[in-house]
Chains A and B, each alone.
Chain A
Amino acid sequence: MEQVVLQKSNLNHWVELMHRGFQVVAPSRVQGEIFFLPHAGQLESDLLCGIATLPYLPPKDIVFPQSETLFSFTRGAGDIDFSVPDRPPEKRVLLGIRSCDTVGLNWLDHFYLSNFHDFYYQNRRDPLTLISIACTQPMKNCFCICCEGGPFLHPETTAFDIQLVDLEDRYLVECNSEKGKALVDLNRNLFSQPDPSMVEARDQAETKSHTRFLQEPTSYMSAAIRRITSNSVPPEVWTELGERCFDDGGCTFVCPCCSCFGVGYTAKGETGCHYRFWDSCDYSGFTREVSGHNPRAEKGERFKRRFFHKLSYHYVKKDGRIGCVGCGRCITACPGEVGMPAVVERLRRG
């Protein structure tokens, strides 16, 4: 993995160069809330430092939008004309994605491109280059360290293109792919070679970051994984947790790993379209059969199913990791205060 150094004062210049061949998407604020938006004007530098500021809407929306048209049709004089949305015209750079979200995208890549081949996902994923920022300072809901979701990325476990490590007035730029290297190649003069002290400083930053992220243990993942896998969670615990679930689906929508969707269609006159939208295993209609029978009619059963998928070893074996990256968005989203850490803690107690 190639490492080079970028002065922070050169970041804007580098991004300007990217604009020649890419659409640059970066975190920016709308009414005080952070979104990934096409970059225009100045970068918001406080969103690109080591502090783990996350947009509430995960970047999965970029590759797997909340709703998207699958195909549209029009009946003309003769045949029916079908059209499928084009691949996004521009290549994109996603600047400022955090480690947890990058791991989340890796999970989605596995789901949509390894398990089966999803044409729409691939159309959005292929032109995307990821510039991740390693986190040195957690926010209050972060627990990525319990889920191998950060705070730093490692090429052995995660596919990313570039990782930026915040070292005061500089970034250590770690290129982990040809796509990443191509961005550095836009102007090699902007970058310098790191001296050994920089590499040492990077390792120290990672060590310090681990200490900070571990300061308040938020999760007891291994115990929860063991209990779920061995089916030793008493049913009344699932009932209790289910009673706290409001079936809102918020946790699944903001989860970087949740990948379920439903399909709808609309048609009026001679034209119409099929589209897909984020769906949620929280919803009773998600599993209800046409007959009206629902194999998971009770909320506790749906709750159990969701966490079985997230944490059971059955899925770890299949997917290579647990289905949580520790971003903490479910804590914000859950009206019942049963986000991942609270559930894991409850499961540990049995």
Chain B
Amino acid sequence: MIKNTPTICSFCSNGCGMFIRSDGKEAVGCLPMTLHPVSEGRLCHRGWNRFQNLRSLNRLSLPLIREGSNLKEAAWPEALQKTTEKISELLSRYGPQSIGVIGSPWLTNEDNYRIAQFSLDILGTSHLDGSYRFSGASALTALDRLFSGPFGSLATIPAIAQSPTILVIGKESCRDFSPVGSRLIKAFLHGSTLVLADPSCTRKEHFFKYLLPHPLQSLAAVFKDKESLPPEVSTRLSEPGLALVFLTDQVGSAASLLSLLHSLSPRSATENHLPLVLPLSRAPNLKGAWDMGIRPPEGGLTLHEMLGEESEVKALLIFGDDLLNHLVTSSMLVKFRNLEFVSVADRFFTDTARMAHCVLPIPLLAETEGTMTNSEGRVQKLRPFVDPQGESRSVAHILQDLSQRMGKDFPVLSEPEVRVEISKNIFPYTAVASESDLENVGGILLPTQNAQLPCEPSEAEEQGPEGYRLLVPNTLYAWNRNQMIHESPVLNIEYPGDRPAVRMSPLDAKELKIRMGEKVKIRSDRGEAQVPVEVDENIPSKVLMLSSHFVEVVESLAGKGERDVTTRTLFFPNLAVTVERL
């Protein structure tokens, strides 16, 4: 008999409501909820195939421990004992700050809360962070600054449809997040003005009225200089009710987002009209993990700093994340390889797990109970719909066992009990202690504090008047790098892998007499690289696109990137470059 379990999708930060259909042994289908406020009967193609990746061949079923260059299967007590011994050794040799702990936006709020507690109370280290340090932390830091703390909910997805003007940054913010795209279409059909800001496309869809060929970090300056904008855009963007939709990955520095919000917040004598802000992410629980404290407290290092050459960190305990896949420079990979100890608790045999000293299998989100917070600030229950495979153990179980072996007392709390703790300690989450409210379709929407005035705009990035502009979009969380996508037979086909190449307009390729696959030499004031060309008719002339996950090529051109002092991380700014045929 088919069982229909109401749960939420865990592919992205939208948190669509869905039923997963299982036959008692495995998931056999899924269906969007028509009564859910986000999905309203709709899903993207990832959501519609949510049930498929559970048949993966690549699941971890037993702990693994390193013996020389190999990982061998081990019993749980052996793996946990080895981890404990190594942690204890490092603690006694170097002290607690030699250990870094990595939580994850692919874990529930409860597990992330436990990981933060374990890190601070049991290990005593403040080096705590997530891989989103490079793919979203700048946006969250900016918004936290704006609200002097966790910002709750800044806009609901349905409310976007009511906005008279919507500024969408990056076409993927519409295309990749169909519940958001659906509201954009609704708004268009009701007469709203949709403005797309994207420097990397030549053609806008018909429902966008204007295309501004600028990246997020230039927009504040563009809006300040109203002369360069169509008059209607200037007027519309300064009216109340404006909505801003963007992908958090694409926010390079916190200051760039604050500047943009400043330029979009018209002031009157009585109030400031902050736009409705919808920060999207390809990680399902970005906001939840951040709010639960997966970020360094006072004195702690960010992930970028933990993997710095001079870092004191000797070991990393990684939970629920294929960290290697999300690192931004090759020097971090080198540091990672040289760590004395790495333990990985994950579901699949990922690249990170392959390099670990100890691998601990944990259940899939499909096998896990807990809550996640979507991009609207909606806390919803995730319900398990299949039994855990193999001998995987929950994060709670692992943390308790490790603590016990270290002779420390880590509280054994159920998920509702952890939510009570969260409700006491994290301001906007006060209501999550109410199990009955959480049971509602759509869960609980977090309250929002009053916003502070955004800071003044920073200067626009410098652009070479001649030559090419090299855009380096952040692709560390791209769908074709997502393990859950790789594990699904349909989605794996939909998101084929890419090869290191720079994408170029056919016009430029013709001018340079370059054919697909041929190499060009690209020079910036920071370095140079020889890269194959991929001709892409969607790219405007004089623009080159290079995905940020081709770390070595990006580093040769952009050097070590730029440091965002607010977020204490790296990002790669767009560069003026020259191109020549080899």
Contacts and interface: CB of A to CB of B under 8 A. Distances in A.
Interface of A: 30-33, 35, 37-38, 56-57, 61, 65-68, 240, 243-244, 246-250, 253, 262, 264, 266-268, 275, 277, 279-280, 282-285, 288, 292, 332-337
A248 B45 contact: yes
Interface residues of B, number: 45
A250 B48 contact: yes
B506 interface: no
Contacts of B136: none
A135 B186 CA distance: 30
A267 B493 CA distance: 19
Given A33-B34, A38-B1, A66-B29, A253 B48 contact: yes
B52 interface: yes
A30 B19 contact: yes
A19 B52 CA distance: 33
Nearest to A263: B489
B28 A67 contact: yes
Interface stretch (B36-44, B276-284, B362-370): B36-44
A336 B19 CA distance: 22
B35 A33 contact: yes
Give the top 8 A-B pairs by smallest Cβ distance, nearest first: A66-B29, A285-B493, A335-B182, A264-B489, A243-B205, A335-B178, A332-B41, A246-B178
A30 B494 contact: no
Contacts of B55: 264, 266, 275
7 contacts: A30-B4, A68-B28, A247-B494, A248-B42, A250-B48, A277-B52, A332-B41
A335 B52 CA distance: 22
A334 B33 CA distance: 13
Given A66-B51, A246-B175, 16 more contacts: A33-B35, A56-B32, A65-B28, A67-B51, A244-B205, A247-B494, A262-B489, A264-B490, A266-B56, A279-B490, A283-B45, A285-B493, A333-B32, A333-B41, A334-B42, A335-B178
B494 A266 contact: no
A287 B56 CA distance: 24
B185 interface: yes
Contacts of A244: 185, 205, 207
Where chain B touches its partner, the secondary structure class is mixed
B377 interface: no
B441 interface: yes
Interface of B: 1-2, 4, 6, 19, 21, 28-35, 40-45, 47-49, 51-52, 55-57, 175, 178-179, 181-182, 185-186, 189, 205-207, 441, 489-490, 493-494, 496
A337 B185 contact: yes
Contact of B30 (A31, A65, A66): A66
A67 B182 CA distance: 27
B22 to A, nearest CB: 11
A245 B49 CA distance: 17
A288 B43 CA distance: 23
Contacts of A277: 49, 52, 489-490
B42 to A, nearest CB: 5
Contact of B33 (A33, A65, A68): A33
A332 B52 contact: no
Given A30-B4, A288-B493, A250 B42 contact: yes
Given A33-B33, A243-B205, A337 B189 contact: yes
Contact of B490 (A32, A35, A285, A332): A285
B490 A250 contact: no
Given A336-B185, A337-B186, A250 B32 contact: yes
A49 to B, nearest CB: 20
A39 to B, nearest CB: 11
A266 B42 CA distance: 29
